[in-house]
A and B are shown apart, each in its own frame.
Chain A
Amino acid sequence: MNTLFPTRETTADPRTDADWTGRRAFETNLRALVGRAYPRVRGLGREPSWIFFEILLPFLGTSAFVLVYRALQAPEAYVGFVVLGGAMSAFWLNVVWMMAGQLYWEKSQGNLELYFAAPMSLMAVLLGMAAGGLFMSGTRSLAILLISTALFGVQFHLTDWALAVPVFLLTMTALYGLGMMLASLFLLWGREAFHLTNLAIEPVYFISGLNFPVARLGALGAVAIATIPFAVGLDALRQLAFPGMPGLAGTPSPQVEALILVAMTVVFLVASQRLIRVIERMARSRGSLSIRWQ
């Protein structure tokens, strides 16, 4: 028997069984969250090929951009910009591939009907996906950061940890909040989901300044700061890790960017909750939203 989440005994009276207390609903949703996060955490140990394909190879990809700067004899701080961007890109890839597109994949696999039929909140499923995804991409990001830092001799001058830690956490909540919101939208958009996923990589990398300070993009960079959590989080972390670098001037201070991230987190989480209600309603009224290949 599961001691963390004991199974509730049923009674002979269906009306009593259907009358859920707040605590019972909370426990069930927590179980759903843990259950949805489980395959992502556990899966890391099941198939070790990801170590080669998702740590070593992306590290080599990041190295290519480092070498572009080295070939151009750019200031060493730019190498640090690339390394930090490469590490943070693991989270963005996880958000677009395994959050935004996930409900659509679940639909394709026939799991989505089960989600709608199960007595739990779909928000719990999305939060579970986010928690598991954060763990998966966190390991990858950390590995890329450590290997690149050691190999390329990047010097971080991070002194304000009290701000850097909340900024990182806020970046994650805003990013995964966006992923939760996009999951519902991508489900509505059907087959375009795959193409949207693809489209959300390089163009977002460019306007977010993956390998260079976003301030250099001028008005386009300002739009990115205002709308894309990846852009604002990356810029804030760069300002904190490489204080005083001239290329970083021109964007709001990390404190202001932290507030932008707070606003983004609230907006994305509220929007994702509303959208999930909309698609639940549509799934029931149309009957086709959750069925494979419809």
Chain B
Amino acid sequence: MNAPAVVGHPAFDGNGFDPARAEGIGLADTRRHLWTAIRLGWQVESNWTDPLLFFIYTVAKPVASLLLLVFMVQIVGGTGASGEAVRTFVVLGSALWAMLIAGIAGPAWSVLDDRERYRMLKYLYVSPATFLLVLVGRGVSKLAVGAMGTVVALLFAVVVLGLRVDLAAVNWPMLVITLLLGLPPVLALGIGLAAVCLQTRQESWSYPEAFAGALFLVSGVVFPLSILPAPAQIVGLVNPVTWWVAGVRGAILPGGASSVGGAGSLWVTLTGTAIPDAVTTIVVLLLTGSVSTLSAIALFRVSERRARERGLLDRTTGS
């Protein structure tokens, strides 16, 4: 006996089959899946404790990282006007790093969490949402937690460390544009690392932080690229994180020191200009961000296919 047709629902052909479900997902479904993944990530991150304790855990890490660097500057005589400029440079870069590291580590840790701890990865994989979308959603929730850390670290720097930010002088349009343009490549780097962690074992917990630590070297976060050797400067210039940090820093402190240009930098040699202006920063961020995002998606697709072929999605390891 044929199943009754669904009255008023053209998607059904009268046999209980919905062709739309086999033809891929539409924009509304994508939005719903992404939102569900974000909410899931937020729940996983925060539902284990009360909000106050969660807040303490969230801010202790970025504030400690900030203090570690500020003390380094302070100890070697970072006083006076030049010391103040160096301290401001370091504080801003370090505070932004909290958000970056969360975005980079988020998707990779989600893979490891769901595969090794909760053993839910295979169920997530076969859910109607695409796996990539699930990981992006989980990454966004981690990024949101990291952004909290960045905001608190900045407030700490202003209130306790005496960081001076003139809100009237902040280039707000530039800040908003660079912040928004920088987030997809940051998540893309996380997706790339998730692709690596799909292939590796449980000890990969430390891989995202190790990768971020290496990126720290070539992104002009706490020192200008000009002090690096030329090959490392090239890596820095093609890295979207460099441009994101430079753009945000330039927007918050217009006229401050640049991490990209300056005396002896490869940027000066290549372009003949002292430092990149706001438009150049945005354009290069867009270009490098697009390339890294597309590369990360391609890497993820390859890794996903290999993981499926070799049964890695439900493999658990330990040592």
Q: What 6 pairs between A and B have smallest CB-CB spacing?
A: A61-B213, A60-B214, A57-B210, A74-B76, A202-B64, A203-B64
B318 within 8 A of A: yes
**Chain B residue at minimum C-beta to C-beta distance from A64:** B217
B32 within 8 A of A: no
8 contacts between A and B (CB under 8 A): A39-B318, A43-B319, A49-B200, A53-B204, A68-B90, A71-B86, A72-B86, A203-B60
A205 within 8 A of B: yes
Selected from B49, B202, B222, the residue in CB contact (under 8 A) with A192 is B49
Q: Which of B6-14, B66-74, B242-250, B279-287 contacts A (4 or more CB under 8 A)?
A: B66-74
A67 in contact with B217 given A202-B61, A217-B71 (CB within 8 Å): yes
Which bracket fits the contact residues of B?
A: 35 or more
B42 within 8 A of A: no
> Contacts of B221 on A, CB cut-off 8 Å?
64
> Contacts of A72 on B, CB cut-off 8 Å?
72-73, 76-78, 86
Min Cβ gap A141→B in Å is: 14
Q: How far, in whole Å, are A169 and B200 apart by their CA atoms in the complex?
A: 32
Q: How far, in whole Å, are A120 and B22 apart by their CA atoms in the complex?
A: 54
A199 within 8 A of B: yes
Q: Which of B169-177, B223-231, B290-298 contacts A (4 or more CB under 8 A)?
A: B223-231
Selected from B68, B73, B205, B213, the residue in CB contact (under 8 A) with A58 is B213
Among A45-80, those with CB < 8 Å from B are 47, 49-50, 53-54, 56-58, 60-61, 63-65, 67-75, 78
Min Cβ gap A147→B in Å is: 13
Q: How far, in whole Å, are A111 and B117 apart by their CA atoms in the complex?
A: 12
B216 within 8 A of A: yes
> Contacts of B72 on A, CB cut-off 8 Å?
65, 68-69, 72, 211-212
**Chain B residue at minimum C-beta to C-beta distance from A61:** B213
> Contacts of B71 on A, CB cut-off 8 Å?
206, 212, 216-217
Q: How far, in whole Å, are A292 and B86 apart by their CA atoms in the complex?
A: 50
A114 within 8 A of B: no
CB of B61 within 8 A of CB of A57, answer no
CB of A67 within 8 A of CB of B206, answer no
A198 in contact with B57 given A53-B206, A71-B223 (CB within 8 Å): yes
Min Cβ gap A209→B in Å is: 8
Min Cβ gap B167→A in Å is: 28
Among B191-244, those with CB < 8 Å from A are 196, 200-207, 210-211, 213-214, 216-217, 221-224, 227-228
Q: How far, in whole Å, are A73 and B86 apart by their CA atoms in the complex?
A: 12
Per DSSP, chain A at the interface is helix
Selected from B86, B206, B222, B319, the residue in CB contact (under 8 A) with A64 is B222
CB of B75 within 8 A of CB of A201, answer no
A61 in contact with B210 given A53-B204, A202-B61 (CB within 8 Å): yes
A93 within 8 A of B: yes
Min Cβ gap B316→A in Å is: 6
Max chain A Cβ within 10 angstroms of own Cβ: one of B62, B200, B204, B206: B206
Q: How far, in whole Å, are A158 and B76 apart by their CA atoms in the complex?
A: 24
> Contacts of B76 on A, CB cut-off 8 Å?
69, 72-75, 78
Min Cβ gap B201→A in Å is: 6
Other contacts beyond A53-B211, A68-B69, A202-B62: 7, CB < 8 A: A58-B213, A61-B210, A64-B216, A64-B222, A68-B222, A78-B76, A111-B318
Min Cβ gap B61→A in Å is: 5
